[in-house]
Amino acid sequence: MKLIKETPKGDITVIQKADEEYPGLVISINGQEVAMVEYNPHDDHHAIYVWSDNDPDGECVHKEVYKLSVKKR
């Protein structure tokens, strides 16, 4: 799966992660990964990771964990 949205400052792209154990989505701006949302089956939660524009290849600068109770399809 790949979704591209053109903006005046470039493209925002969303792709599906290849890791089947930790399914999720990767968000890029102009080819640079800036965020990721994934499901962690071992801890049974979703997490959002964000990387800094100042150090896009470094460690994530923010992580938010969601332990939501959601009905499964």
What CATH number is attached to the domain comprising 53?
A: 2.20.130
Helix (H, G, I), strand (E, B) or coil at 3: strand
Query: What's the pLDDT score for residue 24?
Result: 97
Domain range holding 21? 2-66
36 C-beta neighbours (distance < 10 Å), count: 19
Number of domains in the chain: 1
What is the enclosing helix (H) or strand (E) of 13? strand 10-16
Task: Tell me, yes or no, whether 7 lies in a domain.
Answer: yes
Task: Tell me, yes or no, whether 72 lies in a domain.
Answer: no
Task: Tell me, yes or no, whether 71 lies in a domain.
Answer: no
> How deeply is 29 buried, as exposed, middle or buried, from its count of CB atoms within 10 A (0-12, 13-18, 19+)?
middle
> How deeply is 15 buried, as exposed, middle or buried, from its count of CB atoms within 10 A (0-12, 13-18, 19+)?
middle
Read off the pLDDT of residues 13-59 as tens digits, 9 standing for 90 and up.
999 999 999 999 999 999 999 999 999 999 999 999 999 888 878 88
Task: Tell me, yes or no, whether 13 lies in a domain.
Answer: yes
Task: Tell me, yes or no, whether 20 lies in a domain.
Answer: yes
